[in-house]
Amino acid sequence: MRIKLTVSYDGTNYSGWQVQPNGVTIQEKLEEAVKAVTGETVRVTGSGRTDAGVHAVGQIAHFDTKSSVPPEKFYKALNVYLPEDIKVVKSECVNDDFNACISAKKKTYAYSFYFSDVDLPLKERFAVRIDREPNVELMKSAAKMLVGKHDFKAFCSSGSGAKTTVRTIYSIKIKPSIDGIGIFVCGNGFLYNMVRIIVGTLLKVGYGEMNIDGVKEMLLTGNRAIGGKTLPAKGLRLEKVEY
């Protein structure tokens, strides 16, 4: 029986999703929880890796089990063994051809900024501080240029090992509030650090340190160097994965 999980985590204290020799990971904690519940050693496959320090509201994963625990109650059993900063919010039985990674059609990531000239302890965990307000209209114009099917070579860090750097972005929503900005990026898949570089580049445009033609140039030339910084992991969360 194949079980699909919806997983939420505070990534602060983890070395990302994927099991690795050094550092504790989300995947490892989930596999330990499945083992504690079922006695089985399984691979829990995620929709994709999230990097060290990145959070998730609705990461999706799957695993196979012979356990007799009812699928829709599996999340409760797993949560008994999971730490406070990782919880399964839903579990369900799916067909054997469902694959959390391969079947994923759309992913939405969110990035959060807050305005302050001092680090705020009640904000710092899940958002990144900026000390002046960027021009949101400029950011929206730059974001428009990124929507669509493009070669995002200029928007990834080296070491991703992806076969192609072509991806499709369906939408980028920029939502300002009184005390910050939320940026929501929806696409068919993302390269290594892609969202953090996109948001860093939008911020650079919003600060008037780069014009919109620079974004076009990045798409055409693949030149990472002219883009914005790769922003910190803590401001990023995987909102949802659609199938």
- Catalytic residue numbers read 51
Q: How far is the CB of 160 from a copy of itself (least distance, A)?
A: 26
The token pair that represents 29 in the structure block: 């904690």
Residue 24 touching a copy of itself (CB under 8 A): no
Q: Provide the residue type at 89 as one letter.
A: V
Q: Which two tokens stand for residue 89?
A: 């919010």
Q: How many CB atoms within 10 Å of residue 206? A: 25
Q: Least distance from C-beta 164 to a copy of itself, angstroms?
A: 32
Q: Is 41 helix (H, G, I), strand (E, B) or coil?
A: coil
Assess contact for 187 and 169: CB atoms under 8 A.
Answer: yes
The only residue of 80, 84, 102, 164 in contact with a copy of itself, by rule CB under 8 A: 84
Instruction: Select from 44-52, 120-128, 158-166, 185-193 the region that touches a copy of itself (CB under 8 A).
Output: 120-128
What's the full length of the chain, in residues? 243
Q: If 0-12 CB within 10 Å is exposed, 13-18 middle and 19+ buried, where does residue 41 land? A: exposed
Q: Which of residues 121-140 bind a copy of itself (CB under 8 A)?
A: 121-122, 124-126
* Of the candidate residues 4, 29, 55, 167, the single one contacting a copy of itself (CB under 8 A): 55
Q: Which residues bind a copy of itself (CB under 8 A)?
A: 8-10, 55, 57, 75, 79, 84-89, 116, 118-122, 124-126, 237
